[in-house]
Structure 1
Amino acid sequence: MAQWLTKNLKIEINKSISPLALFLIKAGAIYAFWQLFYDLVLLPDGRLDTFLSLTGINMAGGLLSLLGWDVDVSGRVLTCVGHSGIEIQNGCNGLNLLGLYGGFIFAYPGDWKKRLIFLSTGLLVLFFANILRIAFFAVFNANLPQYWDVAHDYSSYIFFYPIVLSFWYLWTVISDQKDTLISG
């Protein structure tokens, strides 16, 4: 009886709510869950943030070394030698954005195999974009430290948002759910 009720209730809910409204409800619920989980569990625990911060700093330092920069990496701090360094703190390492990106991919309908491949690819691209962002910060801070606040505040518009929006758009195309965002 419970299975029949659940199955039929789901069908009735899906028929009475437009695909756009269903997407927005799912996206809102996932967003709320992610923010609570991040703020109450991941951020206080710190292990995942620490891993992302240290990995990002070390990889950005390696990239800059490959490009000929004389850098020093010490914990969470990356320094272009002779200049002040940058520190990647918990909450500023891209983890929150990775969760938001994933939330959209989960909220928007599509094939699960495609979804997992697309999610993994997008997360990797965003991870490496963050490494480029960290390297950019170190070089920028070495050359234009007086504009640090501007670079830090607006770097997401250059490094993350175009990638996230492009991947979200591609997912709406790849998932082949043409009627999802059409109300009615």
Structure 2
Amino acid sequence: MATSNKKKVKPQKQAATRATSPSFRAQLLANWKAKSPVFLFLLGFAGCMIAFYLFYYSSLYEDYFRPYLLGFQARLGGMLINLFGYGVMVNEEIISSDSFSMSIKNGCDGLEATMLFLSAVLMFPLSAKLKIPGLLVGFVVLFIANIFRIAGLYFVGVHWQSAFEFFHLHAGLVLFTVFAIAIWLIWINWAYKHEHKYASH
């Protein structure tokens, strides 16, 4: 009889074990809830960048936005350069002097790195109250930084012309992109520090 009682207990333990163990569907749902913010961030970030490039290489941007933006950046860059006594002239997208001339083109506008930053802030899973200051301040900081980059390229062209193409096509772009990522990380650090304050209102 003792042996018979033990056999009856075992199925009860197995049934209890099956009841408490999560199902495959529950595990899948739990994994999705844990990973979905990352997935949604990457999906939204990719969507923003695709939309940006579709506009960036469209005839609408090329014909109506690009000339005004690059001309405006060239004028600001020329003003900054002249603060150092170089006496440059600006004609549309061209910054020139007796020493050196350069034309502001796509890639010099800083829009790609700026859009990387804006997309990363926009799609990050935090409150809009935290995103708006990041978007505004980050955009202004990156725009000003790009004007300094344009001026810096001119200085390189005047004093180290053999390295101009390297700084124009490689070093300048990489450094500006790294700077945009650094601004994003600074914003994340600021946003997490203020998250509870905004959540309580």
Match of 2:50 in 1: 32
Deviations 1:129-155 (A, max 9, x none): 111111111121112222221111211
| Equivalent position SS for 1:116 | helix
The CA distance in 2 between the partners of 1:111 and 1:75, in whole Å, is: 41
- Shift, 1:42, TM fit: 4.9
Return the match for 1:78 from 95, 107, 115.
95
Deviations 1:102-147 (A, max 9, x none): 1111111212122111111111111111111111111211122222
CA contact (8 A) 1:94 1:130 kept: yes
- Shift, 1:41, TM fit: 5.5
- Shift, 1:161, TM fit: 2.3
1:20 aligns with 2:32: no
Q: TM-score, normalised by structure 2?
A: 0.71
- Counterpart code for 2:36: S
CA contact (8 A) 1:105 1:168 kept: yes
Match of 2:124 in 1: 108
How many pairs does the alignment contain? Answer: 164
Match of 1:60 in 2: 77
**Bigger relative contact order, structure 1 or 2 (CA pairs below 8 A, ≥6 apart):** 1
The CA distance in 2 between the partners of 1:38 and 1:82, in whole Å, is: 33
The CA distance in 1 between the partners of 2:165 and 2:144, in whole Å, is: 22
The CA distance in 1 between the partners of 2:103 and 2:182, in whole Å, is: 29
> How much identity, in percent, do the aligned residues show?
26
Q: Which has the greater radius of gyration?
A: 2
The CA distance in 2 between the partners of 1:91 and 1:30, in whole Å, is: 18
Match of 1:156 in 2: 173
Q: TM-score, normalised by structure 1?
A: 0.77
Pair 1:109–1:175, CA change in 2 (3 A):
farther
Match of 1:94 in 2: 110
Pair 1:41–1:171, CA change in 2 (3 A):
farther
The CA distance in 1 between the partners of 2:125 and 2:52, in whole Å, is: 18
Match of 2:7 in 1: none
Pair 1:91–1:147, CA change in 2 (3 A):
closer
Q: Which runs of 5+ in 1 are unaligned?
A: 1-11, 178-184
Pair 1:142–1:115, CA change in 2 (3 A):
same
CA root-mean-square deviation: 2.5
- Counterpart code for 1:56: Q
Pair 1:127–1:110, CA change in 2 (3 A):
same
Q: Which runs of 5+ in 2 are unaligned?
A: 1-29, 194-201
CA contact (8 A) 1:43 1:90 kept: no
Return the match for 2:67 from 38, 50, 64.
50
Match of 2:135 in 1: 119
CA contact (8 A) 1:27 1:103 kept: yes
The CA distance in 1 between the partners of 2:50 and 2:187, in whole Å, is: 22
CA contact (8 A) 1:49 1:95 kept: no
